[in-house]
Structure 1
Amino acid sequence: MSAARPPAGANAPSGGSALHAVSKRGGPISLLICALGGEGGGVLTEWLVETARHAGYPAQATSIPGVAQRTGATTYYLEVFPVPLAQLGDRRPVFSLTPVPGTLDALVSSELLETARQIGNGMASPDRTLVITSSARTLTTQERMQLGDGRAEPADLLKLLGRFARAHQVFDMNTLAREAGTVVSAVMLGAIAGSGLFPFRREDYEAVVQAGGKSAEASLRGFARAYERVAQGRTQADYLAQVLAPADAPQSPRGAPPAAADPFPEPVRGMFGLGYARLVDYQGTAYAELYAGRLRQVLAAEREADPQGAHGFAVTKEMARWLALWMAFDDIVRVADLKSRASRSARVQREVKPGVHDLLKVYDHFKPGVPEFAALLPAPLAGRLTAWDRRRVARGKASWALPLKVATHSVLGMAALRTLARMKWLRPRGSRYAIEQAMIGQWLEGVVQGTRRAWELGHEIALCGRLIKGYGSTNERGKENLLHVLEHLARGGVAPEAAQAIRAAREAALADDAGKALDAALVQHGAPPRPVKAVPVRWVRKPRGLAADDESRLKAP
C-alpha cells in the first residue's frame, strides 16, 4: 500500500502509527465500483463508508469521474481495514488513493461492457478478484454509430469473467431495481453485502440505508433482493448457457398459435413466434398470417436447396427476423400507439419516481411532415400532396411540417393519441403500405429464387434485410440499396460468385453511410453504381437586423 497518509477526516483522528500486514493478504480489503452517470455511484460509496463507520471499521474512498455518461464510468475505489478500530488502539492503517491492477479483492459494476473494460485494464486477477456485475447493457456511442449491428457480443464479454475472475456473479441489476422501485446503487449495495466481502453485518448496511430519508423504503427493497440473490450463492450457469448457446439452438415458439408454428422446424420457431406476435400487435391476425405465408414460401425453397437441413434452416430464420421488422414499418399510427400505452406511462413513473404530493406532467413533441401524412392517404391524393411539397421546396422554402406539443398527461392529449393509434384500419389503404408491400415482395421473390439456385445465394439475399433500418431518409436509402443489389447482382451470373458479390455489397453498405464503398463494390463486381440523386440548394438571406459589429464578430477567427 502507499505510504501516504489518508486525507484529514477520512478516518479516526490522525497521529497514530501506521499498521501493516493485519488482514489475510497483508492489507485492507479493496473494492472498485463502476457506475454510469445517474446511477448513484457516489451515494453507494457514501453508504459503504458510513456502514464501515457504523460497524466500527476504518475505511477510505476516492473517485475518478468518467469522461462522459457512456464513454467511461465513474469509478469509486474503497478500502476497508478488516480490524475494528477498538482493537487498533492508537494505530491507524495507511490507505491507498488509487487501485493497483491485479490486487483488487472485488470489482462491482452496473454494466457488462464496463466490467470487461476494467478487466481489460488489468484490474481483475483470476486468483484473487470477485466480480459482481449486471448483465444489462447501455450501448456505447461507437455501438450506436454502426450502420449494422455494432453491439458487443455478450458471450465474448462473459468469457472474460471466467478467465480473469476468482469467482463471479452475473444478474440483471436494472431489472431488480425496477421491480423494487429504486435505483441501481441500492441493488449494488445489496450485492456487495450478500457477497460477504466486508466484515459487516446486514443490520449495519440496513441501518445506514434507513437513515437516507423518504426513499429508504424502496432502497431497502432493492437491497434485500440483491442480498438474497448473491447470498444464496446462485451461480449463473443457466444464464451463461443461454447466452453462450449456439445461435441455432432450439427455441420454444412464443406468441404464435400452434397451427401457425407447426409447419416450421424447431430452429425457426422461436424467431417466428416473436415475429408473429409483433405483427399481431402491429396490424392484427390477418397481417401476421400474411407474414407466415410469406415465410412458408422461403421454407419450401430452402428445403429444396437443403433437404437434410444441414445449415439449420438459416435462410428461413433470417427471413423470420428481417421480414417481421420490415413489415412492422414505423408510421404515425405506430408512434401514437407506443406513446400512449400504459406500459410507457408506467416506465415514466418508475424513472421519475414522483412523490405522493408531486404533480407529473408529460409533454411529447412531434413534427410530422408531408411524407407522414401522405403515407396514410390513397395513392392519388398522396401524389398530389407530395408534388405540392416538392414545388414548395423548389421555390426555396423548407419542406412543410406541423410541429406539435401534446400534453399526454391530460385527457385531451391522451385521447388524441389513442384516436390516432386506433386508425390501423387506414394503414392498408394508404400509399406507403402499397409501396412497402411491393418492395417486400421484390425482396421475398429474390430470396426464394436465389435459394432455389443455391443455398448460399439465398442466405446472402436474406441477410440483406439488415439494410432496412431507421426512418426517414436513412430508411429510404436502405431500401434503394437493397433493390439495386437485387436487380444487378442477384439475378445473373454463377451462383457462388453472385453470393460473394452480394455479401461484399452488403458489408460495404453497412460500413459506409455515404455510399462510396457500396458504389465501389458494385463496380468491382460488374454492376453499375447507384444513380446520382439531385438535391435542391437553398439560399438563406442574411438577417436584416444583423448589425455591422455583430457581422465582424462572426467573421473573426
Structure 2
Amino acid sequence: MKDAAPSHGIISLAILAMGGEGGGVLADWLVDLAEHNGHWAQTTSVPGVAQRTGATVYYIEMYPQASSPSGQMPVMALSPFPGEVDIVLASELMEAGRALQRGLVDADKTTFIASSHRVYSMTERTAMGDGRVDEAKLLAGAQAAARQFISADFSELAEQAGSLIAPALYGALAACERLPFSRAQFEASIERSGVGVKTSLKAFAAGFDAAMQVLHPTAALTTTPITTTPTTTSEAAKPLHAAVGKKLKDLARSLEDAFAPSSHEVIALGLTRLADYQDVNYAALYARRLQDLALALASSALVPALSEEILREGARHLALWMSYEDTVRVADLKTRRTRFERVNQEVNLTSSQLLDIHEFMHPRLEEIADTLPAGLGRWLLASPKARALVGHFTQKGRVVQTSSLGGFLLLYFVASLRRIRPVSLRYQTEQHRIDAWWLQAIHLLPAHADLALEVLRGQQLVKGYGDTHARGWLHFEKLMATLPRLHQLPDAANRLSALRKAALADDSGQALDQALQQLAPA
C-alpha cells in the first residue's frame, strides 16, 4: 500500500549529495515543479566537508497556495529539523548513513530514497586496515529507520543513460507518489530546464522504473529496462598463462603445474602488477619466491584447503609488498594517461572545459635518500652537513600542477628513475625485509602452518610511504618480535591475528601496545 501524499501543511524534502552529482539541479527542478503547480517553494543549501568532495545538504519546503486563503506566503525553515522531514534523498550509501546519523529519517514520517552504490570517504580510504563501513548494516538501518525505503543503484542507471544521478533520483521520487504531482508534471520541469533534456528524461525513466520495482515487484515496467553486458568468463577459469600479457606467458607457464588452479588468478594479478611496477625480471623474482613457498608446502603434508589458502594469501601479500610505494611509484601513477582520463570522468569534463590538477608534494629527506643509489643514500643520511643542506629545501611542501607541461615533466622525470630502482637504497632495504619475512613464514610451515599464514597476513601493516610507512613498519616489527613467545602457546595463530587487528585499529599504536601488554609472559 502506497503512502499518501501530504495534502495539508508544508512538505519538506532534504537532498544529500556530493559535488558534481546534480544535487543543485534536482533542488531547482523541485522548486520549479512546485511553483508551476500551485505551490510556494523555497530551497537552501548547506555545504559539507571537503573530504566528501563537497557534500551538500539541499533543503526544500513547499506549501499549497490553496491552503492559504489570504494569499500570504508561509514562513519556511532554512534547514531540516530532525524527525520533521517528509522525504529524504541520498545520492550514495554513505550519504544515506549521514542522513540517519543526523536524525533526518523518521520511522513514522519519512520516505527515504537512497542509491546503493558507494563512494568511499576519506576515513575509509586512509584506515590502516579495511576501514569500509558495512554496506549491509547501512541498508538494514535505513530500512528500519524509514516509513518507506526505496533503494537501487541509481548511479549505474544514470551512467547507462549518459546522465548524472540527479534525474534518476527524481524519477524514484515521482514513483513513490509522496508529492501531489503526476509523472507528467515531474517530466515537464526537466523539459523547462532546457539543458540535457533527452538524457535526463532517460535517466528519470530508469529511476522511476527501478523504484516501481521496489514498491511493486510484480508490476510491469513502463519503459524498456537498461541492461548491462553479461559477465564474461572470469580470470580464475582460465589457465595461468592465458590470464597474463604476452611478455609474461612463458613465466606463467612455468608456474602452472606447481600451483593449484584456485591460486592462478591471484598469481596472474601479481605477475602483471610487478611487471608493470618494474619489469619482467622483477616478476620472475616474485615467481621464484612463490616456488620456494610451494616446495615448502609440498614437504609439509598439509591438508589441501589450508595449503591452497596459504598459497593464495602468500601470493597476494608478496605482490603487495614487492610493489611498495616509493617516490618513483607515486610519480609514475600520477603521470599516467589512465589517471588523467579517470579524473576527467569523475568531474564530468566536457570538450569545452579545461581542467587543472594540482598535487601537494612534501618529500622528506628520507624519501630523497631512498630514491638515490644505496651508497649515496646512506651517505646523505649519515652526513650532518648534507642532511642540513637538503633538509633546507624539504622543510615545506610544494604544489605541483601536473596538468601543466612543467609539472608533468618534473614528475615524469622522477617516474623515469624506475630504471635505477634496483640499485636504490629503498629497494635494497625492502628486499632484505621481504626475504626475512618470507623465510620466517616458510620456516614456520612444518610445525605451525596456521601461524605461518598469519605471518604472511602481517604484510597488511606495511603500506604507504613517508610517515605512514614508518608507523606501519614499527607495528610490523613489534608483531614479529612476539613470535618466539607465541610459539609456545596453543592458540598462537589466533593471538597473532588479534595483535594484527589491534595494530590496524589506530595509527597511534595504542591498541597494539595494550594488546601486547596482555600477552602472557614468556
Per-residue deviation, residues 292-329 of structure 1 (Å, max 9, x unmatched) = 443455566567464141x6944444434433222111
What runs of 5+ residues in structure 2 fail to find an aligned partner?
Answer: 218-233, 245-251
> How many aligned positions are there?
484
Of 102, 108, 118, the match for 2:99: 118
SS of residue paired to 1:496: coil
Q: Following superposition of structure 1 onto structure 2, how do residues 333-352 of structure 1 map, counting pairs within 5 Å?
A: 333-350=328-345
Cα deviation for residue 350 of structure 1 reads: 4.1
Report the counterpart of residue 221 of structure 1 in structure 2: 199
1:94-493 matches, within 5 Å, as 101=83, 104=86, 106-119=87-100, 121=103, 123=105, 125=107, 129=111, 131-139=113-121, 141=123, 143=124, 146-161=127-142, 163=144, 166-171=148-153, 173=155, 184-193=165-174, 198=179, 200=181, 204-205=185-186, 207-209=188-190, 212=193, 216-217=195-196, 221=199, 224-225=202-203, 227-232=205-210, 256-257=243-244, 259=253, 264-265=259-260, 268-269=263-264, 271-295=266-290, 297-298=292-293, 304=300, 306-309=302-305, 313-350=308-345, 360-388=355-383, 390-393=384-387, 398=392, 400=394, 406-411=400-405, 413-490=407-484, 493=487
Distance 1:37 1:507, change over 3 A: same
Does the CA-based 8 Å contact 1:193-1:227 persist in structure 2?
Answer: no
Tell me how far 1:112 sits from its aligned partner: 0.9
Structure 1 length-normalised TM: 0.69
Deviation string, structure 1 residues 478-503 (Cα, Å, up to 9, x no partner): 22432343244258632534334423
1:464 deviation in Å? 1.4
Deviation at 1:436, TM superposition (A): 0.8
Q: Is the 8 A contact 1:443 1:483 kept in 2?
A: no
Cα offset for 1:346? 2.5
Say if 1:508 and 1:353 are closer, same or farther in 2 by CA, change over 3 A. Answer: closer
Contact 1:392 1:399 in 2 (8 A): no
Q: Note if contact 2:20-2:348 (Cα within 8 Å) is conserved in structure 1.
A: no
Query: Which deviations, in whole Å up to 9, do the C-alpha atoms of 1:368-405 show, x marking residues without a partner?
Result: 454334334332222223223x4455799657579666
Give the SS at the match of 1:157: helix
Structure 2 residue aligned with 1:16: none
1:362/1:515 CA distance change after superposition, 3 Å: closer
User: Distance between the aligned counterparts of 1:231 and 1:80, measured in 2?
Assistant: 25
**How much has 1:50 moved relative to structure 2?**
0.5
Higher helix share: 2
SS at match of 1:453: coil
Change (3 A) 1:403 1:364: same
* Structure 2: distance between partners of 1:197 and 1:271: 49
SS of structure 1 residue aligned to 2:490: helix
1:439, distance to aligned residue in structure 2 (A): 0.8
SS in 2 for 1:330: coil
Q: Tell me which amino acid in the other structure corresponds to 1:224.
A: K
TM-score by length of 2: 0.73
Q: Distance in 2 between matches of 1:402 and 1:69?
A: 23
The 1:516/1:124 distance shift into structure 2, 3 A limit, reads: closer
**Stretches of structure 1 lacking an aligned partner (at least 5 in a row):** 1-21, 238-248, 529-557
Q: Distance in 2 between matches of 1:256 and 1:220?
A: 41
Q: Secondary structure at the match of 1:34?
A: strand
User: Contact 1:279–1:287 (CA<8 Å) still a contact in 2?
Assistant: yes
Q: What letter is aligned with 2:93?
A: L
Aligned partners of 2:422 and 2:45: how far apart in 1?
Answer: 55
Preserved contact between residue 453 and residue 495 of structure 1 (Cα < 8 Å):
no
Name the counterpart of 1:540. none
After superposing the two structures, state which structure 1 stretch, 296-305 or 130-139, moved more.
Answer: 296-305
